[in-house]
Structure 1
Amino acid sequence: MKKVFLVAGARPNLMKVAPIFRASRNLESIECDIVYTGQHYDRQMSQVFFEDLDIAEPKFNMGKSTGTHAEQTGAIMISFEKMCIEHKPDLVVVVGDVNSTLACSVTARKLHIPVAHVEAGLRSGDLDMPEEINRMVTDSISNLFFTTEEHGFDNLLREGKDPASVFQVGNVMIDNLFYNVKRLGDDVTSGYESRPLKEKIGKYAFLTLHRPSNVDCKDVLKGIVSALNKISEKLPILFPIHPRTAKMMEEFSISFSENVHTFPPLSFRESLYLWKDAQVVITDSGGLQEETTALGVPCVTVRENTERPVTVDRGTNVIAGVSEAKILSEVEKAFAKTDDPAPEIPGWDGHAAERIWEILIDYLNRG
């Protein structure tokens, strides 16, 4: 029996580990345990997701949620080192690009434990993004690389990775998406507090906004909110507001118009229930760019770059930047794409996790 640690640190990570963990239930030769570092400690941002995504509560939960980037990363490394020494995993699987991804990959490799990086090779080219540094460092030391699409695969080969260790397996976020779309029956959605509003307003836009570069600068946030308020005059906006965004808006005395309907952070499935039927999604998230592409929902990304260029290549996503005029222009153009079919991307078929396990089992058996 081989022991595998599956590391998750934040809400997007939980969506990525969910299909990998679910697929492990059918493997007799594998003991797979979720290690949750707890970067997001609020129940609405974490615990409810264990239930919502049909995964077990993590066997190991660190609760390392506070402090600066360095303090958080260091605390996770200390706890994870003790955990690895005590439980001796044969392999550590990290996902995405959060501080936990970097901390646990470095710790494992220093203990001579092999590391597999899921969602490897993504690059934005923006070293001002903490996530870009986490991605680059993790990929510099991992043993196995699982990429979501051809750009990530090509990036890793250009950086000198052994082609025999790089595998284009598809996208576990899309595995999770398709799995949960099927679970949105009336028995589930009838209890959603957002359902009456969704049914009442009909057509709407869906918003996520949380990146420090967008919400921590008063002038940037003010311009984005101004654009959103103008958009909402024609199309109501539904926004499960991130705690960071709410805090900064209050601090800067910036407010939304009455046509921007805010909610507390929602569970993954309730959020999906809303955005899957939106006329357009406006976001600064990474994962949502991919998910909207998979369902063919027009997406306008409020950032200057993206580490997920396949979403732009296929025409479902556009990078609008943060200027008010550009956001307004791109959202207007996106309305015309609302009924376009979803593009077909190799490996985005709901079975990436199974392909990952085939490779991992072969690797573990070869020692």
Structure 2
Amino acid sequence: MVKKKLAFFTGTRAEYGLLRPLMDLALKDSDLQFELYVTGMHLSLEFGHTVDQIKQDRIPITEEIEILLSGDTPTAITKSMGLALIGFGDILKKRKPDMLVILGDRFEAFCVAAAATVAHIPIAHLHGGELTLGAIDDTFRHSITKMSYLHFVATEQYKQRVIQLGEFPDRVFNVGAIGIDNILKLKLLDKNEIQNVISDKIKYPYVVITFHPETIDCQSAEDQIKEILKALDKFNDMFLIFTKANSDAGGRIINTLIEEFVSRNPDRSILFSSLGQLKYLSLIKHSLMVIGNSSSGIIEAPSLNVPTVNIGKRQDGRIKAKSVYDCGLFANDIYKTINNVKEDIKNNRINYENPYYKKDTTITIYDTIKKYLNYNKFIKNFFDLTLKY
């Protein structure tokens, strides 16, 4: 009997960490043939060359596809998308997986989804139905939804939005956020291990800062990060741990300005290109708060009982725990919000209930994928809502 071939796509450090437990299940399953396609920032020295982490984890890589150019302008990203379509067109023709697993909403994921659609390869998509109104990823996410056959969403509201896009309800599964499942299963580092394993420069208390460019905004990425650094510079009572921005348009100038800030403030700040899931989540667990606009501050941080200062519009539209404090992209607003969070921590006023939590997320996703892998036909029709005018 020929084994079904289940392929995974990864283009960033973040989505690899989220998918890792699902990959582990597939690798242990003797009924399936596992494949992994690696691309994007994983293969870039500038963004930490995180393909090395995948190899250290002993996850077998089937294909590596170079697509990133040296620039991060809209033109450069568009050209990278062209390279991705060409590369994945060739890879999917050669490998012929029976199903492809994609998480998220980045341009790399959109390109592999488009190539898979043309090649008649069914897609299992995680984290559809969400909104991030401050980023072009919003458009890519909904487009991937329309190209996918199975949908694993994180909340009931997101499920209804995927159905609203014309997807049949019996193929849309509210399973919760897979990242929370990872938190509950990983043995995170303690405070001493953080200083021994990650860096002995780290001092307590500290905050973790990750800021990606807002790709739908009239304010430049340079102006955005300058406002954040201006606010953070006022705090001498907490150590600043930065992680690099991604390869979106404007990401490089953000990283350059952070590097300059850290070089001027070596005793109270540090910058990491990439940390991996274990180190990153461990840092969040013992931090005073998360600052920036990463989805991890929205989805994972509440389950670690850590508040988030969510800056700007990138995450607008996402469901948020009460432990997430929104603020504008201006230094005074950021400074005031950080102080408000510190005061609420001091007075134990923060509710960390996480709207993204559900039990057994990973195994539910995997069991559902296995069930559908045995199907021979993956015909999609449009599900019409009953409209009242």
Judge same fold: TM > 0.5, yes or no: yes
In structure 1, the residue matched to 2:332 is: 325
Deviations 1:254-277 (A, max 9, x none): 986566402232422333332211
Are positions 1:205 and 2:215 aligned together?
no
In structure 2, the residue matched to 1:71 is: 79
Deviations 1:191-213 (A, max 9, x none): 4242x333xx3222221123255
Deviations 1:209-249 (A, max 9, x none): 2325599544333222111111x233332223448223245
Q: In the TM superposition, what is the alpha-carbon distance from 1:21 to its structure 2 partner? A: 0.1
Alignment of 1:76-91 (within 5 A): 76-91=84-99
Partners of 1:219 and 1:70 in 2: CA distance: 23
2:302 corresponds, among 293, 300, 310, to: 293
Deviations 1:24-65 (A, max 9, x none): 13323221211111334227351343256x451422111222
In structure 1, the residue matched to 2:159 is: 153
Partners of 2:244 and 2:149 in 1: CA distance: 38
- The answer to whether the 8 A contact 2:259-2:271 is kept is no
Give the secondary-structure state (helix, strand or coil) at the position aligned to 1:366.
coil
Partners of 1:24 and 1:308 in 2: CA distance: 33
- The answer to whether the 8 A contact 1:239-1:263 is kept is yes
- Counterpart residue type for residue 161 of structure 1: E
Deviations 1:72-121 (A, max 9, x none): 11211111111111121111111111122101111111111111111111
Q: In the TM superposition, what is the alpha-carbon distance from 1:315 to its structure 2 partner? A: 0.5
Are positions 1:178 and 2:180 aligned together?
no
- Counterpart residue type for residue 17 of structure 1: L
Partners of 2:126 and 2:22 in 1: CA distance: 10
- Counterpart residue type for residue 102 of structure 1: F
In structure 1, the residue matched to 2:105 is: 97
1:234 corresponds, among 214, 234, 237, to: 237
Q: CA RMSD in A?
A: 2.8
Deviates more, 1:37-46 or 1:297-306: 37-46
Partners of 2:308 and 2:11 in 1: CA distance: 26
Alignment of 1:263-278 (within 5 A): 263-268=271-276, 269-278=278-287
- Counterpart residue type for residue 192 of structure 1: V
Change in CA separation of 1:98 and 1:258 when aligned onto 2, cut-off 3 Å: same
Partners of 2:68 and 2:304 in 1: CA distance: 33
* Structure 1 segments unaligned to the other structure (5+ residues): none
Partners of 2:353 and 2:121 in 1: CA distance: 38
Partners of 1:8 and 1:18 in 2: CA distance: 10
Change in CA separation of 1:280 and 1:159 when aligned onto 2, cut-off 3 Å: same
- Counterpart residue type for residue 111 of structure 1: A
- Counterpart residue type for residue 306 of structure 1: Q
Partners of 2:224 and 2:263 in 1: CA distance: 14
Give the secondary-structure state (helix, strand or coil) at the position aligned to 2:34.
strand
In structure 2, the residue matched to 1:279 is: 288
Partners of 1:273 and 1:51 in 2: CA distance: 21
Alignment of 1:24-43 (within 5 A): 24-40=26-42, 41-42=44-45
Q: In the TM superposition, what is the alpha-carbon distance from 1:344 to its structure 2 partner? A: 4.6
Are positions 1:354 and 2:363 aligned together?
yes
Change in CA separation of 1:55 and 1:277 when aligned onto 2, cut-off 3 Å: same
- The answer to whether the 8 A contact 2:99-2:121 is kept is yes
Deviates more, 1:130-139 or 1:331-340: 331-340
Partners of 2:354 and 2:194 in 1: CA distance: 28
2:4 corresponds, among 2, 9, 17, to: 2
Identity of aligned residues (%): 21
Deviations 1:151-202 (A, max 9, x none): 321211222321111111121222333333x1536996464242x333xx32
2:227 corresponds, among 219, 223, 226, to: 223
In structure 1, the residue matched to 2:64 is: 61
Are positions 1:14 and 2:21 aligned together?
no
Q: In the TM superposition, what is the alpha-carbon distance from 1:292 to its structure 2 partner? A: 0.5
Are positions 1:302 and 2:311 aligned together?
yes
Change in CA separation of 1:210 and 1:94 when aligned onto 2, cut-off 3 Å: same
